[in-house]
Structure 1
Amino acid sequence: MAEAGASEVVLQDSNSKHPQPHTTTEVGSDTGSTVDTRTARQKLSDIFTIFASGAALISDGYQNNLMTMTNVALRKEYPKQYTSYYSTAVSNALLVGEVIGQVIVGLTCDYLGRKFAIIVTTLMIIIGGILATAASGTTIHGMFWMLIVARGIVGFGTGGEYPASSTSASEAANEQNLKQRGPLFILVTNLPLSAGGPIAVSIFLIVLSAAGQNHLGTVWRVCMGIGCLFPLSVFYFRMKMLNSKLYRRGAIKKRVPYTLVLRYYWKRLLGTCGAWFVYDFITFPNGVFSATILSGVVKKGPNNVRSTAEWQLLLGAIALPGVAVGAYLCNRLGRKNTMMLGFSGYLVFGLIIGCAYEQITKILPLFVIFYGLMQSLGNMGPGDMLGLLSSESYATAVRGTCYGISAALGKTGAAIGTQAFTPIQIHLGKRWTFIIAAICGVAGILVTYFFVPDLKGDDLAQEDERFRAYLLSKGWHGEMGEDDLKALADEGVPQAMVEDVKRA
């Protein structure tokens, strides 16, 4: 599908009755210089939106990695009752909730606004965290089921954070610092998400040291409760935030032309959905069950839980620098190339660990280093780029929806990977979890190469203009925007651009 070329922002006449097109800056007619038209409150809101997104996404990373050590603790506390069925069910509850949250909140943040969606997701994480902390039942299995339901509610909130926080952060970064939007977006989204793993393990170790290994029930409940503090810390700022200027001009709240959206973005959707599915199929089970893998390698003893947590912390620390490397490369190497490079890390290290599993697991530090490097390259590539590309590939009117669908397909892959993890280990052997990761690395490279656009970090307003021109060329003339920037779709779009789209 051909797309129209880049457009120029055209100023309306000063006597026009209609509002300006949805740009963060206006271009001066004499000098070509840009003048920021945002109000002081909007500028402040953009700054707080960026940092509040980062602070809130720490809670997502924390919740995603909380079950890593909790699985070990529950298995130690309830060796007979906490079977692989319940271990998988509790882990997958978060994923199922995330899939539902990503789709519903993705639609919601396009229809009702970024602010409304963000407040809903924050409340869901807090409510679910409280229920998980207080999980109980007439039987132990009943307690597990309450934990499953509570983790599903948390999952709805953390899943909704992906489209809600990420689209808000991308739009705010676009208006705050266009040239560094890519690195800034990564540092406030995937960095806190990835940092959530080491933070979760560190908190687990601190609580374990305070409570002792004979009170594991207290340990995992306290860790669940601490997860409520992260969203609470930014709730006030989220209540005060404004929807971005891009959203207030580009939103479509009535008669959304989804058929035209699919015709225009089908290839990009295949790319972001497919790559995210493959990535989460590998990374999520390898993250959730990494402590289980390590506990099988760590020498048995009275301090097995503590030793496993310490090695898990090192594993998470090794994986973290990849996020910063990806932020550095995204503008220099390009989003698409960086993502393919990251997928190649699964191919290389997955084959090394898988083919030499029996030998390498006898040298625990070497195993942890190679395992961490595989995860670090994953963070550098698809971990960084998928969120960035999903926030840049689509127009503001459908950014939340398309981002949510892409992320939901990713979490579907995570749920399938988590469900398949134990059967793979039982029927094929532990080495095959890494060999399959290598195979998925090849699949990720192919999907990225053929379907993911090679974006350069252009102003998001340009994609909005191209999309509006496409809708006009297909005969759609609905209303776009909200509040002070509401206007009909064809206002501010040069007719020449519409004609270019028709000829394309």
Structure 2
Amino acid sequence: MSGEYPVTNNAASSTEEKNFQKIIVPTVPDKLEDTTESRWERSWPVIAGGAGLFSDGYLNNIIGSVNTVLRILYPVAYSKSDAVKNVPSIAFAGTVVGQLLFGVISDHYSRKWSLMASTLVLIIFAALSAGSYGANGSVPGLFTTLTIYRFFLGVGIGGEYPAGSVAAAESAGELKRGHRNRWFIMFTNVQINLGFVLAAFVPMVVVLVFTENHLRTAWRVMLGLGVLPPLSLLYLRMKLREPENFNRERMHKYPVKLIARFYWWRLFIVSLAWFAYDFSSYAFSIYSSVWLRIVLSDSAPLWKAFGWNTVVNFFNLPGACLGAFISDWIGPRYALSISVFLQGIVGFIMAGCYEFLATAKNVGAFVVLYGIFISLGEIGPGNNIGLIAAMTSATAVRGQYYGIAAAIGKVGAFVGTYAFPIIQARAPNPVRAGQDPFFVASTLCMMSAVVVRFLIPHIGQDTIALEDARFRRYLEENGYDTSKMGVSMKQKLQQLEQSQLQEPATSAES
């Protein structure tokens, strides 16, 4: 990592960034926020870019309820087959493919059209999933079809990360200083959490409407409603323009070795933090299932179980919303490291007191501690890991950088779903089976806090502009011709002609 530039120092401070800004920013074009556009004109690209992650939250989480319904409908054909594992998990694989694929597309071709492509994939395969059907009414064929559609749906979900989040981060650079992080978070992570809540609430309502006598219709309606979120964004995304940052900094030829030499260490650190968080998140859900078993009796109706699942998912929202402002106030690096450290402490307390908390008498205290624990996770890594991934690389390679980090995070989640059940199975007694996963997860929280605090550079409101300037300087010093970066004159003329054609010819009529 090119340690010669002050901002690459792992312990870089805001003072160092200001000094670096004095050297480099004069070579950067006019500041993006210096524009005559209204606040809405600058804000809606952030909304259109990031809000697609609501679909990620809904479509990923809804499959848990669908899985529950399918187990009831097909207690042998589904529960005793590979489908019981494949249907809920195959979207993980598709998401990783989508994150890597759309990371390349968004950098090499277009932020806008990669967004449009991921949106269309979501709409098509959400609809197909709801209409899954086996040849000649075959039940195994139904499960196979649903699995295939869920894989391609995962590709669309994965595309939202490098395409949507990156576009949102770059568009946020055109907003007022001091407000950029909260706008990014409100329309990325908060949207994911809203999707989680709706994905828990919708099954409760659907089961109440259709009753448990019509579950074959209910699960299809649950999946089919997933078409609406991406469909509602389609028009906004059609009206998007390429972010100004992308127009200025895009590359037409990629010096892969130079890029890898410059960013490999930082990408490794960001990916490690994302992997640890997603890996641990599986353990976080274990405790919710414990107190839910205490609250719910074995004879509780299905809608009530879905209702309590809504409560569990709602715990994410307060922390995510509050954390959006904290990220602007103290910066994403400190917001993440402090919150995840505190989360680790609460996790150790919960694990140490597990034997007493996991009782009907103390379930109230259990739920309160769990809510604090989950909120801290959202204030920290939930909100900021994507923001850090979006802001610690140059615009020219941001899609690929973000896509790789996000993909490694998803791999962490996938590994966690297999590792933690093994940890529980090898525990010597039921109490340890509840404690051990949280001891592991809380240790990883502490590790993530140290990694982010000391190995991630300072991230300020102007980090995107500074990082672009730093990357250009590095390329120039290594013989790369940066004059060819950005939109070419021919492309600028084409964009100008297109915008003029869209204007009404009022002058000619007058």
TM norm structure 1: 0.85
1:340 aligns with 2:337: yes
Question: Which residue of 2 is the match for residue 62 of structure 1?
Answer: 58
Match of 2:370 in 1: 371
Counterparts of 1:486 and 1:22 in 2: how far apart (Å)? 18
Which residue of structure 2 aligns with residue 493 of structure 1?
none
Distance 1:66 1:290 in 2: 20
Q: CA deviation at 1:92?
A: 2.0
Contact 1:72/1:291, CA 8 A, preserved across alignment: no
Give the Cα–Cα distance (whole angstroms) in 1 for the partners of residues 458 and 171 of structure 2: 22
Query: CA 1:70 to 1:357, structure 2 compared with 1: closer, same or farther past 3 Å?
Result: farther
- 1:370 is displaced (CA, Å) by 2.6
Partner-residue secondary structure (3-state), 1:227: helix
1:250 and 1:485, CA in 2 relative to 1: closer, same or farther beyond 3 A? farther
How far off its partner does 1:206 sit?
A: 1.0
Offset at 1:181? 0.8
Going from structure 1 to structure 2, the CA distance change for 1:477 and 1:239 (only over 3 Å counts) comes to same
CA contact (8 A) 2:190 2:320 kept: yes
Structure 1 unmatched runs, 5+: 12-20, 26-33, 488-504
- C-alpha distance after superposition, 1:120-148 (max 9, x if no partner): 11011112211211123254333222222
SS at match of 1:215: helix
Q: Is the 8 A contact 1:319 1:379 kept in 2?
A: yes
Which structure 2 segments of 5+ residues have no match? 7-19, 428-432, 493-510
* Equivalent residue, structure 1, for 2:352: 355
**Cα 1:105–1:154, aligned 2, differ >3 Å: closer, same or farther?**
same
Corresponding residue of 1:281: 279
2-structure distance, mates of 1:306, 1:368: 20
1:317 aligns with 2:296: no
Displacement of 1:84 in angstroms is 8.6
Q: Per-residue deviation at 1:85?
A: 4.8
The one-character-per-residue Cα deviations of 1:346-384 (angstroms, maximum 9, x if unpaired) are 422322333333432223443333333222111110111
Secondary structure class of the residue paired with 2:242:
coil
- Contact 1:114–1:168 (8 Å) recurs in 2: yes
Q: Does structure 1 retain, via aligned residues, the 8 Å contact 2:280–2:441?
A: yes
Shift of 1:401: 0.9
In structure 1, what is the equivalent of residue 207 of structure 2? 208
Which residue identity lines up with residue 263 of structure 1 in the other structure? R
Q: Partner amino acid for 1:461? A: A
| Residue 114 (1) aligns with residue 119 (2) | no
Task: State the partner residue of 2:497.
Answer: none
- Partner of 1:383, secondary structure, is helix
CA distance, structure 2, for counterparts of residue 277 and residue 420 of structure 1: 13
- What letter matches 2:275 in structure 1? F
SS at match of 1:457: coil
Whether the 8 Å CA contact 1:68–1:290 is kept in 2: the answer is no
Counterpart of 2:446 in structure 1 is 442
Aligned to 2:188: 189
Which range is displaced more, 135-144 or 95-104? Answer: 135-144
Compute the displacement of 1:45 (Å).
Answer: 5.8
Q: Deviations over 1:466-493 (max 9, x none)?
A: 1101100011115211255979xxxxxx
SS across alignment from 1:320:
helix
Equivalents in 2 of 1:55, 1:114: separation in Å?
15
User: Deviation of residue 465 (structure 1)?
Assistant: 1.2
The aligned residue for residue 226 of structure 1 is 225
Residue of structure 2 in register with 1:416 after alignment: 415
User: How many Å separate the matches in 2 of 1:109 and 1:191?
Assistant: 23
Q: 1: CA distance between counterparts of 2:287 and 2:131?
A: 26
Q: Name the structure 2 match of 1:148.
A: 147
Which of these residues, 49, 52, 55, is aligned with residue 53 of structure 1?
49
Alignment match, 1:475: 479
Checking the alignment, whether the CA contact within 8 Å between 1:291 and 1:308 is kept in structure 2 is no
Q: Counting helix residues as a fraction of each chain, which structure ranks higher?
A: 2
2:504 maps to which residue? none
**Alpha-carbon distance in structure 2 between the residues aligned to 1:161 and 1:371:** 30
Conservation of the 8 A alpha-carbon contact between 1:250 and 1:481: yes
Number of residue pairs matched?
465
